[in-house]
Chain A
Amino acid sequence: MQLTLWTYEGPPHVGAMRIATAMEGLHYVLHAPQGDTYADLLFTMIERRDRRPPVTYTTFQARDLGGDTAQLFKDAAREAYERFRPQAMLVGASCTAELIQDDPGGLARALNLPIPVVAVEFSAYQRKENFGAAETFYQLVRAFAGPNAPPAGTARVQRPESCRPRANLLGPTALGFRHRDDVAEVRKLLGAMGIDVHVTAPLGATPADLARLGEADFNVCLYPEIAAPAALWLGRTFGQPTVKAVPIGVGATCDFIREVASVAGVDPAPALGDPASRLPWYSRSVDSGYLTRKRVFIFGDATHAVAAARIASEELGFSVVGLGTYSREFAREVRDAARKHGVEALITDDYLEVEAAVKKLSPELVLGTQMERHIAKRLGIACAVISAPVHVQDFPARHSPQMGFEGANVIFDTWVHPLMMGLEEHLVAMFRDDFEFHGDAAPSHLADTGTAPAAVEQPGATTLWAGEAEAELKKIPFFVRGKARRNTERFALEQGVGTITLETLYDAKAHFGR
């Protein structure tokens, strides 16, 4: 048993719902109690979908348990077929139904529906949402593309010179972090290189589209957490190469373009020199100087966390002080990246552990999920969201991709905005005794809150501050005062200093100074 306050991922059947909801012409019959229908609201409220997810729940109750829950399932599946007339049906069990072992796959097949039925099984007491999404997508791809597979060992037919190369985009789902906009950006990149998108899946794809996946020249695996198993199988079955670079950030986008170009045998140049790529110049502009070595803590799914670490260090000049993920399946990738940044990876799905790490590291910026946004808010640290789990705010009305050059532009704006503007920070430092710029003034974009973030202001319980040191501390701008106080207290504690004097304050500054 594991004590859980907040979870980064839902159960695996929610992952299956993300696939089914992303697709067209597919209906998911889920053996589940009534209460599990809550999952609909994730899609209708958080993502503001204008349709209910294509999911029928069997809604069995306690009194059905002794009786025939299997019959309930069969009735639900038959009714769902008659009402929705899907091209294909996905069937499975939620965690409770898994315990009663009704075998939805067998039951659905026994109905002899005139459409294909794909059954997915998860170990719901072990697995989580991303696994459920990946497994479902893989099973669907196998079921629909499989019948078109060439005999093993058949060499791939070379694309005739006259045809434009074709790629599948794999991985975007419903309820994905910026998936809708990422797809548009990646299409643009491929278009610039003269490559057509053959099928995008699961987002917007029908079962018939999945059957055509093998026709493309190669696959682009946009979100490995979701599409890696399917891409691997397609590679093995159809001899399609997979482009593995994930184009988040300027450097990664260039890597992606080069990898695509080499796989497709085209010239990368037309895609590389996008004049709308502004991050590099914005980052070089002198106003960005204050961003130098800002200490950032990064946490999210593996793909977004690793990409964020690279952008932070190579493209914004931050220093990465912490890097972690809740995707245990991708722990190795994150550990490798962490090593590159000289930190130890935090692999956990325990929210409290992440909070403890943020507290300990006192970064100036947290790049995380909605969970870390709350942690950062409480600690008074600037924060930007880079990864699922998502919230209604992560589905902005405007186009806001993470991928491609435009994605990098969006990232520059989103990460820099929560930090104080360079000029503003200087002014506060310079005029800190001026009545308008006194240290207790909040940054003007936080003006509606009226006060500076308070969480960092708690005086240490054990250490004493001499009056003059306390006064000096007040002169430090509020947004670094909390850190200065904590560092000084830690320093005092380590040095066995009982009362913090002016001397201690500046000793600590020298000790921690960079």
Chain B
Amino acid sequence: MFCGLTGIVWLHRKIQDAFFLVVGSRTCAHLIQSAAGVMIFAEPRFATAIIDERDLAGLADANDELDRVVARLLERRPEIRLLFLVGSCPSEVIKLDLSRAAFRLSQRFSPGIRVLNYSGSGIETTFTQGEDACLAALVPAMAASIDRALLVVGCLADVVEDQFSRLFAALGIGPVRFLPPRHAAELPPVGPGTFFLLAQPFLADTARALEARGATRIAAPFPLGAEGTSLWLQAAAAAWKIDAARFDAVTAAGRDRASRAVSKCREELAGKRVFLFPDSQLEIPLARFLSREMSMELVEVGTPYLHREHLAEELALLPPGTALSEGQHVENQLDRCRRARPDITVCGLGLANPLEAEGLTTKWSIELLFTPIQGYDQAGDLAELFARPLVRRGLLAV
């Protein structure tokens, strides 16, 4: 399982004028580079300030060094409006106070540039928790507002956001804002009139921070699959007291397209047994989609962390007796997976090829973060992600 730094790979593409500066070691730089894989840009909007021997030996003041690196960076990249200092294991172990550094640098570079900090360290966060920490860091920077508004929380692809915006508009729900915003200046306001819908299941800290600002969470399952999307939209519609007839009228076309799209894969997936390794915290909503809409059988559903409150609606939809496992003990999970010999295994990149070589069919979970899968018009793509490995195995005669 990756650490929370990985979130930078999708976060930096979402907030187009933000830069992510990891304060860490060569390992951290190497992790992001490896997770980003082929996405090598000229100058990516992320980098690592690599702590070196001099910083550790006290020969250089780490804070001065950081200021120097940031100054050089901002000079090179004048278009940056929002800078995140991202903590790592080494910065935390040596107790480098990035919140003080962010405060200091914010003052120095304000008003043009805001500097925030969060931790993506592997001793505190796993994989998607990095997004949670990042969004939670944005909350104190949001303006106060008492106006009634809907806030959608969690990174979504722009195309998905636009689809949801159109649906909310047609339902008569508004204004609708998104966190994170596409540009730093569009950071939405928050306050007692704010009702928020989580678009991702791993945003515990962000939700807590929003609630502390007076916002109210609208409990709902997550917008994966036709059913998940409908229930998610419906929860907002209920909060806005939209009548059922209007809801049905507005969502009918989407629901219809989604169920037609997923039905193409159902034949391939129905009755197949799936094993989910803990990785992204998307496992439970995925399991719900796979069992209820694709008629798959759940062998084991692992999740690195189970937030019972945010996932209450999802858990209620899982077939009774579903085997859930929380946390990670990879060797034991592998033993169970091998014994169960599922038809398809959802796992991280480190396990996929070794399991394939053992004759198991796999789907790597990181693709679920990089591919738009939420909403009616992506339900078919989501199903396809699981069907493709099975279809492929069927095609190959070598």
Chain A residues with a Cβ under 8 A of chain B = 1-7, 9-11, 13-14, 33-42, 44-45, 48-52, 59-62, 64-65, 79, 83, 94-96, 99-100, 123-126, 128, 352, 355, 370-371, 374, 378, 391
Are A7 and B42 in touch, CB under 8 angstroms?
A: no
Are B26 and A124 in touch, CB under 8 angstroms?
A: yes
A7, A51, A100: the one contacting B357 at CB < 8 Å is A51
B380 to chain A, nearest CB (A): 27
Is there a chain A Cβ closer than 8 Å to B250's Cβ?
no
In this complex, what residue of B is CB-closest to A99? B93
Are A3 and B72 in touch, CB under 8 angstroms?
A: yes
A34 to B23, CA, bound (A): 18
Are A95 and B27 in touch, CB under 8 angstroms?
A: yes
Are A95 and B26 in touch, CB under 8 angstroms?
A: yes
A49 to chain B, nearest CB (A): 7
User: Which candidate, B118-126, B133-141, B167-175, B264-272, is the interface stretch facing chain A?
Assistant: B118-126
Contact indicator per residue, chain B 62-75, by CB within 8 Å of chain A (1) or not (0): 10011011001100
A95 to B27, CA, bound (A): 7
Knowing A1-B50, A1-B66, A34-B328 are in contact, say whether A95-B25 is a contact too (CB < 8 A).
yes
B248 to chain A, nearest CB (A): 45
Are A6 and B40 in touch, CB under 8 angstroms?
A: yes
B25, B69, B331: the one contacting A125 at CB < 8 Å is B25
In this complex, what residue of B is CB-closest to A64? B123
A52, A65, A124: the one contacting B123 at CB < 8 Å is A65
Is there a chain A Cβ closer than 8 Å to B237's Cβ?
no
Main secondary structure of the interface of B (DSSP, over half): helix
Are B51 and A1 in touch, CB under 8 angstroms?
A: yes
Is there a chain A Cβ closer than 8 Å to B187's Cβ?
no
Are A96 and B353 in touch, CB under 8 angstroms?
A: no
A-B contact pairs, 29 of them (CB 8 A): A1-B68, A2-B50, A2-B52, A4-B48, A5-B43, A11-B25, A33-B89, A33-B121, A35-B121, A35-B123, A35-B126, A36-B27, A36-B31, A37-B2, A38-B6, A40-B349, A41-B34, A49-B353, A50-B357, A52-B351, A61-B123, A62-B92, A62-B123, A62-B124, A65-B123, A95-B90, A99-B93, A125-B53, A126-B52
Are A125 and B33 in touch, CB under 8 angstroms?
A: no
In this complex, what residue of A is CB-closest to B2? A38
Nearest 8 pairs of A and B residues by beta carbon = A35-B3, A35-B122, A40-B350, A50-B357, A33-B122, A96-B89, A41-B349, A95-B25
Is there a chain A Cβ closer than 8 Å to B100's Cβ?
no
A99 to B47, CA, bound (A): 22
Is there a chain A Cβ closer than 8 Å to B29's Cβ?
yes
A492 to B339, CA, bound (A): 73
Are A1 and B65 in touch, CB under 8 angstroms?
A: yes
Contact indicator per residue, chain B 18-47, by CB within 8 Å of chain A (1) or not (0): 000001011101110111001010111001
Knowing A45-B349, A374-B40 are in contact, say whether A7-B26 is a contact too (CB < 8 A).
yes
Across-interface contacts of B331 in A (CB, < 8 A): 79, 83
Across-interface contacts of B68 in A (CB, < 8 A): 1
Across-interface contacts of A128 in B (CB, < 8 A): 26
A128 to B398, CA, bound (A): 40
Knowing A65-B123, A99-B93 are in contact, say whether A378-B52 is a contact too (CB < 8 A).
no
Across-interface contacts of A34 in B (CB, < 8 A): 1, 3, 122-123, 126, 328
Are B121 and A4 in touch, CB under 8 angstroms?
A: no
A92 to chain B, nearest CB (A): 13
Are A61 and B124 in touch, CB under 8 angstroms?
A: yes
Are B351 and A44 in touch, CB under 8 angstroms?
A: yes
Across-interface contacts of B51 in A (CB, < 8 A): 1, 125
Across-interface contacts of A52 in B (CB, < 8 A): 350-351, 354
Are A1 and B69 in touch, CB under 8 angstroms?
A: yes
Across-interface contacts of A37 in B (CB, < 8 A): 1-2, 350
Across-interface contacts of B49 in A (CB, < 8 A): 1-4
A1, A50, A61: the one contacting B60 at CB < 8 Å is A1
A128 to B43, CA, bound (A): 23
Across-interface contacts of B5 in A (CB, < 8 A): 35
A126 to B55, CA, bound (A): 11
A38, A123, A125, A352: the one contacting B34 at CB < 8 Å is A38
Is there a chain A Cβ closer than 8 Å to B56's Cβ?
yes
A38 to B30, CA, bound (A): 9
In this complex, what residue of B is CB-closest to A47? B353
Across-interface contacts of A124 in B (CB, < 8 A): 25-27
B247 to chain A, nearest CB (A): 42
In this complex, what residue of B is CB-closest to A44? B353
A55 to chain B, nearest CB (A): 10
Across-interface contacts of B122 in A (CB, < 8 A): 33-36, 96
A50 to B89, CA, bound (A): 30
Is there a chain A Cβ closer than 8 Å to B348's Cβ?
yes
A370 to B37, CA, bound (A): 11
Across-interface contacts of A35 in B (CB, < 8 A): 1-5, 31, 89, 121-123, 126
Is there a chain A Cβ closer than 8 Å to B94's Cβ?
yes
Are A65 and B93 in touch, CB under 8 angstroms?
A: yes
B116 to chain A, nearest CB (A): 19
Across-interface contacts of A123 in B (CB, < 8 A): 53
Beyond contacts A1-B50, A34-B126, A44-B351: 17 other A-B pairs, Cβ-Cβ < 8 A, are A1-B65, A3-B50, A4-B26, A4-B48, A11-B30, A33-B122, A35-B3, A36-B31, A41-B34, A49-B354, A51-B354, A51-B357, A60-B123, A83-B331, A96-B89, A96-B122, A126-B52
Across-interface contacts of B23 in A (CB, < 8 A): 1
Are B90 and A96 in touch, CB under 8 angstroms?
A: yes
B72 to chain A, nearest CB (A): 6
Across-interface contacts of B121 in A (CB, < 8 A): 33, 35, 62
Is there a chain A Cβ closer than 8 Å to B315's Cβ?
no
B3 to chain A, nearest CB (A): 2
A178 to B285, CA, bound (A): 43
A95 to B56, CA, bound (A): 12
A131 to chain B, nearest CB (A): 11
Are A10 and B123 in touch, CB under 8 angstroms?
A: no
In this complex, what residue of B is CB-closest to A49? B353
A379 to chain B, nearest CB (A): 10
B134 to chain A, nearest CB (A): 16
